[in-house]
């Protein structure tokens, strides 16, 4: 029986502390925390949030790289009934301004230093009131709902409007605990296929689903996960940390990938699991001293790819013999299906597992929503406690996202196979994954269309061995105005997070369209791009 069923975030954290006590929960840069320590840190974070006026239902943007405080404030917010808004650390000014404002966030938590990124400098570029404002009472014209920008480390004193949490605050009164497990506790932005990202609202049941993940890969309290994939993503937070914590397993957290450091940690901390991108696998296998590292404890984990070749490399060369596959997305609180560790490798890597407990998955016609027979290709749709409450402040987008009342339309094409497994194929509409991150082509198109030289633009994806896919922008220039490929790419870099920036720009006179509807035939654009790149490769 799932022990987290019906529990709030605070109740779940208390349960972890009771069950696993002094066991190692988290390690970061040489410092360790037990499960009791984790509860203490989260309660302290909750009290700090409460002390600056954060109350039930308030939104708190957590804009942090991988570090323990991400977990303390994400879960601390949920513990008091506030809603954490997890922001991608790569967001550009227009992007983070939109998400902070659209989510109604009244506080933003950032590092104080500039080692990873100058978060305060970037925020001050949008909200200059940080330089002369009053901590906790900002009056930012660009972000009118924002009241507090909190820095966790020492920062430049010129930012007079920043709330300083770099020093101990002494004992604060404990904050009241949330009591409604069905209320929203997290807003995570998903690119989807529309021009602007949407904030998926998830409730407290994320611990419940995290527990159910563990059975599928034979998880025990002796397991240790090495994790350097960004924490702001559902893969790392719910599918990673919470999954391993739910059964008393440990998480060895890192803030960035370095092949030498990663191999050393995998060996020294005797990690049994790792979450990796294809590029990370290549870097480790190509390391000059790879064979000298003892990775004999490594047995399982997740690879952010659907390429069977990459999975075989992870299993047979890196040692992840029990690597598992799954299907899910932000709106379904991460995985809705997952393979079993004991299934034959080829079965695991050529499908995406069976549905998890208390969740339903069907494959339906994407237009009529009629349920299809096993083996027929259609849209994957999901129903259950794990499905988001809706997109925050987007009622029309929420309405369109559901069929027959409560079936979430994923926008992904797949097959429900005879053996009960789900196989993901591709997106129904425009969108792709670059290095594990969702990219909405409509969002990229809307951004590029603002370039003064662009009359029209269409973006599609191209396959890439290491990143899964990269973007290709097809541009029709305005008459009499010139612009180079590099100029367009630099324009995109200033507007979009790096994973959304197209790798290639092609200039065309017109787009291929479908007769009668005028719909751009992106498959033909993709074919054209591949032909051009193939010719360039031969010429070089």
Provide the pLDDT for residue 34. 98
Provide the pLDDT for residue 195. 60
Listing DSSP states for 325-385 in one string gives -EEEEGGGTEEEEE--TTS-HHHHHTS--EEPTTEEEEEE-TTT-PBPPTT-EEEEEEEET
DSSP strand E in 116-191: where?
148-151, 163-164, 184-190
Q: What is the mean pLDDT of residues 95-99?
A: 96
Distance, C-alpha 120 to centroid of its chain: 23
Order across the sheet with 300-303: list the strands. Answer: 31-34, 24-28, 250-253, 224-227, 273-276, 300-303
Q: What are phi and psi of 125, to 5 degrees?
A: -65, -30
Listing DSSP states for 25-83 in one string gives EEEETTEEEEHHHHHHHHHHHHHHHHHTT--TT-EEEE---SSHHHHHHHHHHHHTT-E
pLDDT at residue 347 is higher than 80: yes
Whose tokens are 């009164």? That residue is 173
pLDDT in tens, 415-449: 999 999 999 987 777 778 888 788 888 889 888 98
Using CA atoms of 110, 113, 118, 122 in order, give the dihedral in degrees to the nearest 10.
Answer: 50
For residue 395, the surrounding DSSP H or E stretch is helix 395-400
Q: Out of 58-67, 71-80, 196-205, which region has the weakest mean confidence (pLDDT)?
A: 196-205
First and final C-alpha spacing in the chain: 61
Query: Are 430 and 441 spatial neighbours (Cβ–Cβ below 8 Å)?
Result: yes
For residue 252, the surrounding DSSP H or E stretch is strand 250-253
pLDDT in tens, 241-292: 999 999 999 999 999 999 999 999 999 999 999 999 888 999 999 999 999 9
Is the model more confident about 234 or about 520?
234
Token pair, residue 210, equals: 């995290």
Beta bridge partners of 24: 34
Q: Percent of the chain, pLDDT > 90?
A: 79
Token pair, residue 35, equals: 């499960």
CA angle 500, 403, 375 (to 5 degrees): 80
Token pair, residue 413, equals: 């094409």
Q: What is the distance between the alpha carbons of residues 425 and 351, in angstroms, rounded to a whole number?
A: 9
Residues 62, 63, 67, 69, CA torsion sign: negative
Q: What is the distance between the alpha carbons of residues 144 and 159, in angstroms, rounded to a whole number?
A: 18
Q: Which CATH number fits domain 216-427: 3.90.1150.10, 3.30.470.30, 3.40.50.12780, 3.30.565.10?
A: 3.40.50.12780
Provide the pLDDT for residue 12. 97
Whose tokens are 């009053």? That residue is 134
pLDDT at residue 372 is higher than 90: yes
Q: What are phi and psi of 499, to 5 degrees?
A: -70, -15
Q: What are phi and psi of 278, to 5 degrees?
A: -55, -40
Q: What is the distance between the alpha carbons of residues 315 and 336, in angstroms, rounded to a whole number?
A: 23
Identical fold at 9-189 and 216-427?
yes
Q: In this structure, how many other beta carbons lie within 10 angstroms of the beta carbon of residue 180? A: 12
Q: What is the distance between the alpha carbons of residues 509 and 226, in angstroms, rounded to a whole number?
A: 49
pLDDT in tens, 32-42: 999 999 999 99
For residue 457, the surrounding DSSP H or E stretch is strand 454-464
What's the chain's average pLDDT?
93
Q: What is the mean pLDDT of residues 195-206?
A: 90
Query: Are 337 and 354 spatial neighbours (Cβ–Cβ below 8 Å)?
Result: yes
Q: At the top level of CATH, which class does the domain 432-539 belong to?
A: alpha beta
Domain extents in the chain: 9-189, 216-427, 432-539
Query: Are 281 and 257 spatial neighbours (Cβ–Cβ below 8 Å)?
Result: no
Q: What is the distance between the alpha carbons of residues 467 and 330, in angstroms, rounded to a whole number?
A: 20
8-state DSSP, 426: E
Q: At the top level of CATH, which class does the domain 9-189 belong to?
A: alpha beta
pLDDT in tens, 466-512: 888 999 999 999 888 889 999 999 999 999 999 999 999 999 988 88
Provide the pLDDT for residue 397. 94
Summary count for the chain: helices (H), strands (E):
16, 27
Helix axes 35-51 and 9-20, enclosed angle (nearest 10): 150
pTM of the predicted structure, to 2 decimals: 0.85
Half-sphere exposure of 353 (CA within 13 A, CB side): 23
pLDDT in tens, 225-237: 999 999 999 999 9
HEC letters along 125-137: HHCHHHHCCCCCC
Sorted by sequence, the CB contacts under 8 Å of residue 57 that are 6+ apart come out as 81, 82, 83, 183
pLDDT in tens, 510-519: 888 665 545 6
Q: What is the distance between the alpha carbons of residues 442 and 415, in angstroms, rounded to a whole number?
A: 26
Strands 407-416, 402-403: pairing is: antiparallel
| Three-class DSSP category at 397 | helix
């Amino acid at each position: 029986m799932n022990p987290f069923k019906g529990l709030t975030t605070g109740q779940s954290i208390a349960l972890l502390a009771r069950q696993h006590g002094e066991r190692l929960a988290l390690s970061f840069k040489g410092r360790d925390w037990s499960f009791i320590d984790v509860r203490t840190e989260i309660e302290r974070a909750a009290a700090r949030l409460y002390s600056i006026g954060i109350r039930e239902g308030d939104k708190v943007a957590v804009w942090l790289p991988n570090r323990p405080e991400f977990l303390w404030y994400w879960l601390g917010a949920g513990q008091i009934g506030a809603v954490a808004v997890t922001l991608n650390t790569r967001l550009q000014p227009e992007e983070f301004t939109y998400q902070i404002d659209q989510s109604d966030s009244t506080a933003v938590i950032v590092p104080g230093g500039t080692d990873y990124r100058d978060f305060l400098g970037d925020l001050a570029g949008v909200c200059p009131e940080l330089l002369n404002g009053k901590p906790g009472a900002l009056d930012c014209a660009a972000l009118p709902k924002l009241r507090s920008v909190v820095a966790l480390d020492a920062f430049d004193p010129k930012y007079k409007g920043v709330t300083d949490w770099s020093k101990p605050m002494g004992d604060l009164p404990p904050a009241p605990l949330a009591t409604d497990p069905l209320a929203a506790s997290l807003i995570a932005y998903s690119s989807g296929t529309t021009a602007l990202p949407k904030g998926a609202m998830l409730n407290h049941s994320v611990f419940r689903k995290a527990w159910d993940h563990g059975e599928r890969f034979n998880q025990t309290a002796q397991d240790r996960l090495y994790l350097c994939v960004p924490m702001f993503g559902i893969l790392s937070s719910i599918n990673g940390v919470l999954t391993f914590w739910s059964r008393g397993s440990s998480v060895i957290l890192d803030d960035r990938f370095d092949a030498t450091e990663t191999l050393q940690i995998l060996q020294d901390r005797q990690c049994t699991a790792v979450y990796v991108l294809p590029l990370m696998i290549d870097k480790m296998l190509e390391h000059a001293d790879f064979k000298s590292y003892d990775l004999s404890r490594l047995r399982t984990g997740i690879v952010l790819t659907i390429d069977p070749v990459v999975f075989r490399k992870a299993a047979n060369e890196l040692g992840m013999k029990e690597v598992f596959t799954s299907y899910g997305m932000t709106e379904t609180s991460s995985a809705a299906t997952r393979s079993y560790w004991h299934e034959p490798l080829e079965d695991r890597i050529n499908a995406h597992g069976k549905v998890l407990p208390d969740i339903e998955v069907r494959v339906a016609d994407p237009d009529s929503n009629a349920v299809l027979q096993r083996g027929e290709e259609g849209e994957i749709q999901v129903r259950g406690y794990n499905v988001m409450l809706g997109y925050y402040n987007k009622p029309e987008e929420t309405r369109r996202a559901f069929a027959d009342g409560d079936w979430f339309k994923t926008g992904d094409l797949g097959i429900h196979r005879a053996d009960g497994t789900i196989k993901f194929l591709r997106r129904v509409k425009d969108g792709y994954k670059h290095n594990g991150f969702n990219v909405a082509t409509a969002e990229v198109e809307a951004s590029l269309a603002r370039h003064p030289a662009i009359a029209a633009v269409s973006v599609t994806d191209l396959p890439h061995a290491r990143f899964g896919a990269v973007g290709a922008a097809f541009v029709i220039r305005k008459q009499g105005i010139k612009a180079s490929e590099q100029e367009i790419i630099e324009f995109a870099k200033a507007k979009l997070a790096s994973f959304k920036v197209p790798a290639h720009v092609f200039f065309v006179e017109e787009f291929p369209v479908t007769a009668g509807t005028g719909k751009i035939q992106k498959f033909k654009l993709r074919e054209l791009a591949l032909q051009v790149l193939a010719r360039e490769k031969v010429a070089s």
